[in-house]
Amino acid sequence: MTAMRNPNAKHTDFGFLRGIIKSNPLFMASNVDMMLERRGRFIVAEWKRPNENISKGQMILLENLAKQKNFMVMIITGVSDDTECNIYDINKLLPEGQEKIGEGKEFLIEFIKSWYDLVDTGQI
């Protein structure tokens, strides 16, 4: 099932950055689970397993990114690894909170294809 360019890549440990900003010792790097770009438009998605929480700092980062022109931020609840792909909820991050836009792998695939076509034709 794996289509990653480097299936052996491990997550980067940013622990070496902990505490480098003395006035804000909780300041920390964050990774992004999914990013797509087409003609200067972006989809950024954070994937979480069921009952897994997003840290406060990461949520601040995602909320601020969602406010940027040309960015769409999604929170996806599901599992996608080399053995399975199950997507339970797909939420779009909006200024007033999250809005569920769909569920399931097929929905996500069609959503991305539609977004790509809309960007390509200048509709968004």
pLDDT tens-digit series, residues 66-80: 999 999 999 999 999
Measure the CA–CA gap between 4 and 52, rounded to whole angstroms: 23
- pLDDT, tens digit, 9 for 90 and up, residues 35-59: 999 999 999 999 999 999 999 999 9
Q: Please answer whether residues 75 and 54 qualify as being in contact, where contact means their C-beta atoms are separated by less than 8 angstroms.
A: yes
* Confidence at residue 95, expressed as pLDDT on a 0 to 100 scale: 85
